[in-house]
Amino acid sequence: MTLIISNADVEQVLTMGDTMEALERAYGDLRTREAVCRPRIDIQVPASADGKTYQWGTMEGGSMRGYFAIRMKSDILVQEDRGGIPTEEKYCMRPGRWCGLILLTSIENAEPLALLNDGIIQHMRVGADGGIGVKFAARENAEVVGMLGSGGMARSHMDAFMEVRKIKKLQVFSPTRANREAFAAEMKAKFGIEAVACDAPEQVYRGADILAAVTDATEPVTDGSLIEPGTHIVVIGGSGRPDPKSVARIDVSLRFGDAPQPWGLPEFGKARSRLTYAAMTEELAEKHMSPDARRGGRKALAEDRVVWLGDIIAGKAKGRTSDSQITYSERGNLQGNQFHAVAGRAYELARAAGKGREIPTEWFLQDIRD
């Protein structure tokens, strides 16, 4: 039987510790070539409504540990301006609803094992990346988090940071006062730490050991002139990168890895986090697509200062060599490697706990050769 596993099922069984363990193992498997993945690929078509774009996005990967997964997203994209910050909103059918699915299969007999909602897994795997970066590159005595953003990704990052460091204080800013105040109160109650909702973004940098920019802005929101020595930087969201001033100040850029190149196309997608194919002219692309999408994703950041996670784990390198260094961590184009690892673990835990709905696997099969 194939399992249908909901976000509620995943939330009940998958912990941040489980997620980080699965990802570290998957990154190691990629290094030893026991796993494979490809960069995210998006296909975009202008929707009939002005200013909106349809986007189909997929990422996939598998390993010799037994699982393959493809994550699929069906979105309407809308570029908006929020308080002077360009942002990208998305939805399926109507605002507040989204369609993201993970199909998990067995590499032993090709069986469809499960179809999972991707929401909780998405938040967990991105937060876990932030935690892995902090584990290997932040100062051992890091205890203050400065956070830009107060949404779901901010929550998963705090869960991950608490796994690897003894965090004592959070200082957070997001454009909506009610949101940042509610988030600060929630983190104080959940973790028993001091949590301050800041009135201005520059306040989050003061004394911060970890700077986490976790927003949906399409342009960088960090300010490198405010980053203090010894800070570790984590950036996710629409921009996916720090501002140029921050990049210039980075001493060590920790990169988890790169997807292997496909046979016969050695430069295809090299170091790109995503590749986009669009049914639109350059003029339409300028109007409909985010700057990062038009660039086809970013290259490796601060390449001349890159340290690879595999080398750190193997004892060949260090995430930092002094407490005064400014460090940064990024996944690379490994999303497909993440989804088979985390979805596989969620499937195992859900099945053991009797979660999910069973449907006949035969519904996915046919007697006509494809």
Quick one: 172 and 318 in the same domain? Answer: yes
Quick one: 318 and 174 in the same domain? Answer: yes
pLDDT for 93 equals 93
- Does 65 fall in a domain? yes
Quick one: pLDDT band at residue 287, thresholds 50, 70, 90?
A: low
* Six-digit token string for 309: 């996670």
Quick one: 306 and 322 in the same domain? Answer: yes
pLDDT for 82 equals 66
pLDDT for 299 equals 60
pLDDT for 289 equals 59
- Does 286 fall in a domain? no
Quick one: 15 and 160 in the same domain? Answer: no
Quick one: 35 and 83 in the same domain? Answer: yes
Mean pLDDT of 167-178: 96
| Average pLDDT of the residues of the chain | 90
Quick one: 71 and 140 in the same domain? Answer: no
Write the pLDDT tens digit of every residue in 197-211: 999 999 999 999 999
SS3 content of the chain, % helix, strand, coil (to 5): 35, 30, 35
Write the pLDDT tens digit of every residue in 75-93: 998 877 766 666 778 899 9
Q: What is the CATH number of the domain that holds 317?
A: 3.40.50.720
Range of the domain at 138: 134-259+298-332
Quick one: 341 and 248 in the same domain? Answer: no
Quick one: 227 and 187 in the same domain? Answer: yes
How would you classify residue 257: left for phi > 0, otherwise alpha for psi between -120 and 50, otherwise beta? left
Entry pTM: 0.89
- Does 312 fall in a domain? yes
What is the domain count for the chain?
2
- Does 127 fall in a domain? no
Please report which helix (H) or strand (E) contains residue 209, including its range. Answer: none
Burial class (CB in 10 A: 0-12, 13-18, 19+), 101: middle
Quick one: 172 and 95 in the same domain? Answer: no
Query: Is the separation of the CB atoms in 156 and 124 below 8 Å?
Result: yes
Q: What is the CATH number of the domain that holds 91?
A: 3.30.1780.10
Write the pLDDT tens digit of every residue in 14-58: 999 999 999 999 999 998 899 999 989 999 998 887 778 999 999
Quick one: 319 and 345 in the same domain? Answer: no
Write the pLDDT tens digit of every residue in 84-126: 666 778 899 999 999 999 999 999 999 999 999 999 999 999 9
- Does 353 fall in a domain? yes
Check pLDDT > 60 for residue 362.
Answer: yes
Quick one: 146 and 235 in the same domain? Answer: yes
Quick one: 49 and 170 in the same domain? Answer: no
- Does 206 fall in a domain? yes
In the block, which residue shows the tokens 């990967």? 61
* Calpha distance 249→132 (Å, rounded): 21
- Does 39 fall in a domain? yes
- The three-state secondary structure class of 199 is coil
- Does 264 fall in a domain? no
Write the pLDDT tens digit of every residue in 291-300: 555 555 556 6
b/e map of 295-315 (b: 16 or more CB within 10 Å)? ebbbebbbeeebbbbbebeee
